[in-house]
Structure 1
Amino acid sequence: MPTGPAADLKKVRDTEAGPIMMTTLNGPKSGVSGKVWVWLPPQYNDPAYAKHGFPVLTLYAGGQSAGYNTWTDNQLPIQKIDAELSKAGKAHPFILIMPVQNLNSSESKALECSDIPGQPKIGTWMAEDIPDFVRANFRTVKGRDGWGLMGASTGAFCSAKLALQHPETFKAAVPIDGYFNPDSPLWHGHEQERLANSPGQLVALGKADVRMLATAGGSNAYETGLVKAWVKKAAPPLTVEYYEQPGGKHLTSDFKKMIPDTLQWLSKNLAGPEAD
């Protein structure tokens, strides 16, 4: 059950599958203040599920995502798809959490979901403050078994990195068409810290008991080569499956086509709603 205190959530958009709400989360552990969007599945307010905790899926967008998130608009209509699939018994009804990734839209200020020395601690905000916020406000699955991450492009980097760094919090992740080597200019002079936040390094350490599905667009030879090479480096107990989207390009329109399959994969690898 929610632990409180309750956040000030305001409706910012209606979808065919219910409203999207938003709040500004002032992270007590990180000191970072950023926008977080929330969608609750229809089952959440169904009396039959009144005492159930729900799985949580945090979504990261492509690009800088400073003040916006493409999972909150019709570009990536994951809310509608999840509602349809969960109604049909093909996917879990997920609580969807959609935070910003950056605090500045300039690529030279990219934080890469990390605590870069001398910069806002957005890695702590994402890995600790956001899960604390979710547990404070919503009925969730106990432990890590119902907590997943998914992102596209830059968001794929974030989802892979955070899952590898925090297997105590997250059990599964889906990096869609991602990259795995931190390249923000803000890392200059901090090579040791950069490598400690590199999915390219973390994947081979054998320290994360996490399940992943890594995807690449089949029409992009550079991308498929990059993702395949990363998948091959995975060391147990980490498991990484690879999926190549036939003819897929590095476009939001192709990311959209991936949503049904990725939600079903996540549902097979995460716990569903459970009674308290």
Structure 2
Amino acid sequence: MGLTSETTVYVMAALAAVSVALLVWWWPRFARQGLLQVLGRLVALGTTQVVIIAAFACWLNSSYQFFGSWGELFGHVETAPVGVTQAGDYGGTGTVNGVAVKGALVQPATDEQLSRVSGLPTGPAAVNGRVESVKVIGRRTGVVDPAFVYLPPQYFQKAYQRQRFPVIVALSGYPGSIFNLAQYLRVSQTAGTLQKSGQMQPTIMVMIRPTIAPPRDTECVDVPGGPQTETFLAKDLPDALKSAYRVGHDASAWGVMGYSSGGSCALQLTMRDPHVFTTAAALSPDYKVKDDATTGNLFGNGPERIERINSHDLMWRLKHLPVPDVSVLVAESKHGERGYPQTQAFIKAVRAPMRVVSIQPEHGSHNFPTWVQEMPPALKWMNQQLTFPQDVVPRHHKKKGVVVADPQKPGHDPLRADGPEPTPTTRTRR
């Protein structure tokens, strides 16, 4: 039985009901005086409470997909399979253990979670788009992280067959999952509606969790001697997506957003890695990464610990380091969320060339209804910042097993099997 399956929930509910019934049935026998009877009452009460709590936890996890498997719950994280080879050309295919896949660094995954998401596009992909369930494999970190990828209708249309697309990476909070992003934050559904109505340019949406070593909350930190979360999100993830999808190569086509700790991660990535992400939207973020019971020691020990802590304190960075040329959006309710004063301080601390805008509802809470309300304006604002890539996928001709780039394309290098590197655009709409 899978951790998130309905069967597990029903079995645990049945065990809880049986435990309560047995407690009632056997209680008269424990009512006598004596040490054994007292111990029996304590054991019976404790067992019944544990089973009831476990049943409720299973139901809650099944509804919100905090942990996708028993292995994740107990900290056993999947690692990259042996023999992974990168695709020969962008958007092509490779093989892993003899099985053809769409890019070796992005592999097909089961649709168990995706099948439970409502409102996803159906019918012809060239008309309505498509959401894919995949596994992203970190070439540097060895991390294997599940993801949903929304591809707009234009991605499948002949007129766009050589066109690259901008990308927005959506990050869940802790201990959230990609299911939460798809079902409760409505990332792909909202983006699809905005794009169909012309309020947003065709954009690939990638839903992924920053929790790469569950159940530990690693935030967006490369932990000394531990999980390398920032490396995975800032290096492995873009490389994997570029190997499997027609996405822009220039940072001006890449944005990242998230809610709660995912929003904090979006700000961290954009300010620390502006050569990867130039735009961020953070819904109810924090502005400093701290150690707590869920994170453990994120910054290591020794003389470099303070330096690592400061580097992940965004207010410290704004005061002491050069300001990156990026655009960020922060969202926080004036009443109902405790982070409003910190958000105001962050806005005041931002200086050129960095740009900041905000969404500040009068009332709201740290929950999905508030973030869903903020999603459309956040996505429309990100759309205005991201550049629709001007570079295109090189046209190739295959002859007797040799891949040759289009000789009419400027910059053709016959020594490169994958053709010339596309020239990134430098135009950015602000």
Report if the CA contact (8 A) 2:107-2:136 is conserved.
Answer: no
The answer to whether 1:96 aligns with 2:212 is no
TM-score, normalised to structure 1, is: 0.90
Q: Deviation at 1:22? A: 2.7
The answer to whether 1:196 aligns with 2:306 is no
Which shows bigger deviation, 179-188 or 246-255? 179-188
Q: Deviation at 1:269? A: 0.7
1:212-244, CA deviations, whole angstroms, 9 ceiling, x for partnerless residues? Answer: 111101223632111111121113211111220
1:144-198, CA deviations, whole angstroms, 9 ceiling, x for partnerless residues? Answer: 1110000111011100000001111111100111101111332363332122222
CA distance in structure 1 between the aligned counterparts of 2:337 and 2:130, rounded to whole angstroms: 39
Which shows bigger deviation, 75-84 or 143-152? 75-84
Question: Structure 1 residues 16 and 98, CA, compared in 2 at 3 Å: closer, same or farther?
Answer: closer
CA distance in structure 1 between the aligned counterparts of 2:158 and 2:382, rounded to whole angstroms: 25
Corresponding residue for 2:181? 71
Greater relative contact order (Cα 8 A, min sep 6): structure 1 or 2? 1
CA distance in structure 1 between the aligned counterparts of 2:110 and 2:165, rounded to whole angstroms: 20
CA distance in structure 1 between the aligned counterparts of 2:388 and 2:375, rounded to whole angstroms: 18
Question: Structure 1 residues 31 and 10, CA, compared in 2 at 3 Å: closer, same or farther?
Answer: closer
The answer to whether 1:129 aligns with 2:236 is yes
Corresponding residue for 1:217? 333
Question: Structure 1 residues 49 and 194, CA, compared in 2 at 3 Å: closer, same or farther?
Answer: same
Larger Rg: 2
Higher strand share: 1
Report if the CA contact (8 A) 1:206-1:236 is conserved.
Answer: no
CA distance in structure 1 between the aligned counterparts of 2:187 and 2:134, rounded to whole angstroms: 20
CA distance in structure 1 between the aligned counterparts of 2:364 and 2:182, rounded to whole angstroms: 22
Query: Which residue of 18, 36, 60 maps to 2:171?
Result: 60
Q: Deviation at 1:273? A: 5.5
Which shows bigger deviation, 81-90 or 1-10? 1-10
CA distance in structure 2 between the aligned counterparts of 1:70 and 1:261, rounded to whole angstroms: 20
Which shows bigger deviation, 86-95 or 170-179? 86-95
Report if the CA contact (8 A) 2:135-2:147 is conserved.
Answer: yes
Query: Which residue of 90, 101, 107 maps to 1:2?
Result: 90
The answer to whether 1:82 aligns with 2:181 is no
CA distance in structure 2 between the aligned counterparts of 1:83 and 1:181, rounded to whole angstroms: 33
CA distance in structure 1 between the aligned counterparts of 2:179 and 2:274, rounded to whole angstroms: 24
Indicate the SS of the match to 2:222: coil
Corresponding residue for 2:361? 245
The answer to whether 1:183 aligns with 2:290 is yes
Q: Which amino acid aligns with 2:90?
A: P
Question: Structure 1 residues 264 and 228, CA, compared in 2 at 3 Å: closer, same or farther?
Answer: same
Query: Which residue of 154, 159, 167 maps to 2:274?
Result: 167
- Give me the identity figure in percent: 23
The answer to whether 1:16 aligns with 2:132 is no
Q: Deviation at 1:114? A: 1.1
1:126-157, CA deviations, whole angstroms, 9 ceiling, x for partnerless residues? Answer: 00000001111111123111100001110111
Report if the CA contact (8 A) 1:31-1:121 is conserved.
Answer: no
CA distance in structure 2 between the aligned counterparts of 1:32 and 1:201, rounded to whole angstroms: 30
Q: Which amino acid aligns with 2:206?
A: I
Report if the CA contact (8 A) 1:61-1:69 is conserved.
Answer: no
Which shows bigger deviation, 185-194 or 166-175? 185-194
CA distance in structure 1 between the aligned counterparts of 2:244 and 2:260, rounded to whole angstroms: 29
Tell me the matched-pair count.
Answer: 272
Q: Which amino acid aligns with 1:223?
A: G
Which shows bigger deviation, 222-231 or 9-18? 9-18
CA distance in structure 1 between the aligned counterparts of 2:337 and 2:255, rounded to whole angstroms: 28
1:42-93, CA deviations, whole angstroms, 9 ceiling, x for partnerless residues? Answer: 221122221211110001112223x5452122x1112122112112211122
Question: Structure 1 residues 144 and 29, CA, compared in 2 at 3 Å: closer, same or farther?
Answer: same
Unaligned runs of 5+ in 1: none
CA distance in structure 2 between the aligned counterparts of 1:186 and 1:132, rounded to whole angstroms: 28
Unaligned runs of 5+ in 2: 1-88, 95-102, 122-128, 393-430
The answer to whether 1:254 aligns with 2:370 is yes
Report if the CA contact (8 A) 1:54-1:274 is conserved.
Answer: no
Which shows bigger deviation, 245-254 or 217-226? 217-226
The answer to whether 1:226 aligns with 2:342 is yes
Question: Structure 1 residues 221 and 63, CA, compared in 2 at 3 Å: closer, same or farther?
Answer: closer
Question: Structure 1 residues 34 and 229, CA, compared in 2 at 3 Å: closer, same or farther?
Answer: same
Corresponding residue for 1:30? 141
| RMSD (CA atoms) | 2.1
